[in-house]
Structure 1
Amino acid sequence: MLIHPWDAARDDDEWRSWLRTRDFGQLAANGVDGGAPVVVPTHFRYDGDEVVLHLARPNPIWAALEANPAAVVSVHDEYAYIPTGWRSDSPETGVPTSYYAAVQLVCRARIVDDREGKADILRRQLAHHQPDGDHGEVAADAGPYHRNLSAIRGLRLEVVDVRAKFKYDDHKPDALRTRVAAGLAERRLPGDAAVLERQRSRGAGRSAG
């Protein structure tokens, strides 16, 4: 992912705060024997140090990770297409772009096959996704889940690098940014409100700096 200096996260707090409210993304691994990358949409839990998740045993990601444990968890959101006329006084000279936020966690994978290890991952995920506790007991040899543990494999992903990008024309003049903000507010497509809020937040940070 190309990250220009003006698109980079202000600091670790910015991307951590953004990712804290997002727990669905794509897990990507290198293909086996030169094959295409394997990309799996999935829920996950990230606790600041590692990512944990589980997938069905037949999932093709396992062969890829057994061949090479390098993996990326990719999350994107707050995206919108920005048309030509919003970025120029003349639609004929404007250059369209995309606004978006994206965080990629570069990881080293460890596959978990022992029953207690898988139960621990399920406990951690359920505590995150169902914090009210309405999920029943999670144990290796008891409760409603233990009979299904053989059908899944767990995954613990050690985060070794983070790539964070917030692409909202931070480097452009205020007049252009104001015109884009007005366009987003008027268009009101799904996602435009979140993009507008992020653009304004980034602009406020730029002014404060």
Structure 2
Amino acid sequence: MTESAYLRATRVAYDTVAADYAELLRDELDTKPLDRAMLAAFAEHVRAPEAGEVADLGCGPGRVTAHLRSLGVNAFGIDLSPEMIAVARRTYPELRFEEGSMTALDLADGAVGGAVAWYSTVHTPPEVLPTVFAEIHRVLAPGGHFLIAFKVGDERRHLPRGYGHEISLDVYWMPPEHIAGLLGDAGLVVDAQLIREPDESERPRSGRQAFFLARKPRQPWR
């Protein structure tokens, strides 16, 4: 099967910036209490032993995976970039990290009790998002929870540089109501939404940030 151009571009870009990205964002959560609050709320839903494993999709260098583990979550990471996975494995050798794509997860139906996409859909073209959300619905166990973080807006920007390197990468800002609709179409129920203003580290290049906590119903839609 031919790989999509955006997947290839995303992999190449993050392979290029992996080491610098990991260093620059290593402590980012320390200054973002609202972001940590959403991760903590998600953790309360998925850290019970019977909940099963939780997949950090697009885990990058593994900082969110490790944060979830510190909250008692049985989390592992999946990322498109081999270099990001290599950095994650070196940094957190006690955790599990695997290469993979959110468009075709190498997981069985209902295999995980939770999933996180922490800004990892921001390079996904809008027309591909239904495929990604359908995959997440597929791999979630009934009653499983999903946390997504994304940039609020309605535009595409092309990045010719990032983290000190020349790259070629598109970034998408999405309307919250559109994401909520796509999640609903995929069979996921949104239970909570947080939309916050950009903090000092995000201004002026970025805008509002959104966090949705959703779940896969225990019973199929009727």
TM-score, with structure 1 as normaliser: 0.24
Does 1 or 2 have the higher relative contact order (CA < 8 Å, sep 6+)? 1
Rg (Cα) greater in structure: 1
